[in-house]
Amino acid sequence: MPEIARPDNVIFLAGSGRSGTTWLANLLNHRHDFSYYFEPLNHHQVKGIEPFGWRQYLRADGNYPEHRTVADNFLYGSVDNEWVNRFNDAPQSNKRVVKEIRANMTLAWMRKQFPDVKIILTLRHPIAVTVSRMEMNWKRGVDLLLGQPELNEDFLEPILPLLEREEMHAYESALLLWCVENFVALKQIRELDIHVLFYEHLALHPEEELRRLFTFLDQPFDEHILDGIDIPSHTSGKVDPARTVEARLEKWRKKLPTDIVANSIRLLQLFSFDQIYDDNATPRLDSADILSNQPPLPGELAELLGENQ
Three-state secondary structure string covering 50-114? CCCCCCCCCCCCCCCHHHHHHHHHHHHCCCCCCCCCCCCCCCCCCCEEEEECCCHHHHHHHHHHC
pLDDT at residue 118, rounded to an integer: 97
Which domains are delineated in the chain?
A: 7-304 (3.40.50)
Q: Whole-prediction pTM value?
A: 0.93
**pLDDT (tens digit, 0 to 9) for every residue of the chain, 309 residues total?**
445 677 789 999 999 999 999 999 999 999 999 999 999 999 999 999 999 999 999 999 999 999 999 999 999 998 999 999 999 999 999 999 999 999 999 999 999 999 999 999 999 999 999 999 999 999 899 999 999 999 999 999 999 999 999 889 999 999 999 999 999 999 999 889 999 999 999 999 999 999 999 999 999 999 999 998 988 766 665 555 546 899 889 999 889 999 999 999 999 998 989 889 999 999 988 766 776 665 556 566 667 666 543
What is the rounded CA–CA span in Å between residue 104 and residue 21? 12
For residue 194, CA distances in Å to 110, 197, 309 come to 10, 10, 25
